[in-house]
Structure 1
Amino acid sequence: MSFRVATWNINSVRLRAPLLADVVAQLAPDVLCLQETKTPDEFFPHDAAEALGFSHRVVRGMKGYNGVAILSRLPITLRPGEPDWCERGDCRHIGVDVQHPSGPIEVHDFYIPAGGDEPDREINPKFGHKLDFLAEVTRWQAGRGPARRAVLVGDLNIAPLEQDVWSHKALLKVVSHTPVEVAALNAWQAAGAWVDAPRHFVPASEKLYSWWSYRARDWAAADRGRRLDHVWVSEDLSPKLAGYEILKSARGWTQASDHVPVLVELAL
């Protein structure tokens, strides 16, 4: 009995709603978590999601920025009482309980602040917000203890390992791979005893990316990627890890997002 969960920073769900069908055809997820939906809830393309078999949906969006959504073939229940991170109301997290035949599975969908260009909170408030967000979510996680029968996904906007970026040396002072960000992400992961699911299959010594900049003239030839999109599973689910896929071909689709979908399969 499998459970297939995918995450994708879609970079505008209304613009790229037609691509959802391609993601479903390639990955066949039971649950699809989106980030950067960039639309108020009333304008979310529910018809497109319904047509693809996602009869259960929770969306949390705002005009032009941020936004997350969880689309599911299985019944889901919104988890009540989750924090308003940094008291900004900026639509960066949804937590749900998925009613899988093997039992409930807790699923969290996060969109972590990108952090701007300068890795210095004194001159760049966006970087300060990112660090504050990570500190708050780590305290929240520590208060809950190790995750149990849970999956956490999203655009976490940090590439933690040396082989998660095209050049460790070149990006050490670039937001998304700085030591302070990596330490913050590692603290969050440790607080929940989360397991990095794709790296369960791919050794840390091998390159692995999920994002390629729009700035590259030929993204595929340059291949200067970063792994910003993550799937973590609780330790009790890690023995059930059955497969993963990073849909690199999606970066070459017409009107592509700069992120590609990442899928993990559990055999429950």
Structure 2
Amino acid sequence: MVTVATWNINSVRLRMPIVERFLQEQSPDILCLQEIKCQEQQFPYEAFRALGYEHFAVHGQKGYHGVATVGKVPFKEFSRHDWQDNGEARHVGVELTDPGMQGMVVENVYVPAGGDEPDRTINPKFGQKLDFLDRMTRWAETIDRPTLIVGDFNIAPLASDVWDHKALLKVVSHTPLEVETLQRFMDAHGWADIGREHIKAPERYYSWWSYRAKDWKANDRGRRLDHMWASPELAKEATGHSVHEYARDWDKPSDHVPLVTEFTL
């Protein structure tokens, strides 16, 4: 069995205490972090090593974005794609090398948020987000091995992935154009949405709550921005999936919570 977790941590150095708590409680084999907000030499390697995580693939940049994959099981860095086409650190892929897991690829991605206006003519960031997804789609057409892609996709595709479907149809992250663009990415490889394989729609499923809400739990205006999608053959090996909402209540939390999927390979 191998367990993989994904979490937009919103600054790994600032939130290392809750990362440590999560790893001590859940102990996933692989943890994929997004928005680490540090350069590679600033990453807290020793804190992870103290918890038994000896393997790293870190793609960082100063102050913004950045992704990192850490593991208790061995892997080698497999790829770094510039789907943003501007040098931002938004992706790293690893290939597991442990016997029994060999050949499985875990892709860790942080899709741009896309700004506030869902119109690329007045908001270049929205156009960059759509173009990022188009580049991911062309890449997905070439995949030839069991692959898991995880991370902050910054899109909540289903009506039950948001607190109010009608209210958010014109809000970036849930617009029909974004949902259609993400669907093209799904179709390009036949990805299985592991979260929704295990938590069936229309059951409520959120992974992000804004910091603006004084009481996120009572307000519960969440969105499912974080995803774990698997190649068709790998999806058949997924035996469990969990959303760790309680982490949103921890001290100095991220606005996202961790997701964990278990595989029997």
TM-score range, shorter chain: over 0.9
For residues 140 and 238 of structure 1, what CA distance do their matches in structure 2 show? Answer: 19
For residues 82 and 197 of structure 2, what CA distance do their matches in structure 1 show? Answer: 31
Deviation at 1:38, TM superposition (A): 0.3
Alignment of 1:15-26 (within 5 A): 15-26=14-25
Deviation at 1:79, TM superposition (A): 1.4
Please report the TM-score for the alignment, with normalisation by the length of structure 2: 0.97
**Hey, what does 1:162 align to over in structure 2?**
159
**Hey, what does 2:94 align to over in structure 1?**
96
SS of the residue corresponding to residue 15 of structure 1 reads: coil
Alignment of 1:1-268 (within 5 A): 2-80=1-79, 82-102=80-100, 103-142=102-141, 144-145=142-143, 148-268=145-265
Q: Which amino acid aligns with 1:155?
A: D
When the two chains are superposed, the root-mean-square deviation of aligned CA atoms in Å is 1.1
The 8 Å contact of residues 105 and 147 in structure 2, kept in 1 or not, is answered as yes
Deviation at 1:150, TM superposition (A): 1.4
For residues 100 and 6 of structure 1, what CA distance do their matches in structure 2 show? Answer: 18
Deviation at 1:27, TM superposition (A): 2.1
The 8 Å contact of residues 67 and 91 in structure 2, kept in 1 or not, is answered as yes
Q: How many residues matched?
A: 264
The 8 Å contact of residues 148 and 235 in structure 1, kept in 2 or not, is answered as no
Q: Which amino acid aligns with 1:115?
A: G
Deviation at 1:256, TM superposition (A): 0.1
Q: Which runs of 5+ in 1 are unaligned?
A: none
Q: Which amino acid aligns with 1:240?
A: E
For residues 136 and 149 of structure 1, what CA distance do their matches in structure 2 show? Answer: 20
The 8 Å contact of residues 148 and 236 in structure 1, kept in 2 or not, is answered as no
The 8 Å contact of residues 75 and 98 in structure 2, kept in 1 or not, is answered as no
Q: Which runs of 5+ in 2 are unaligned?
A: none
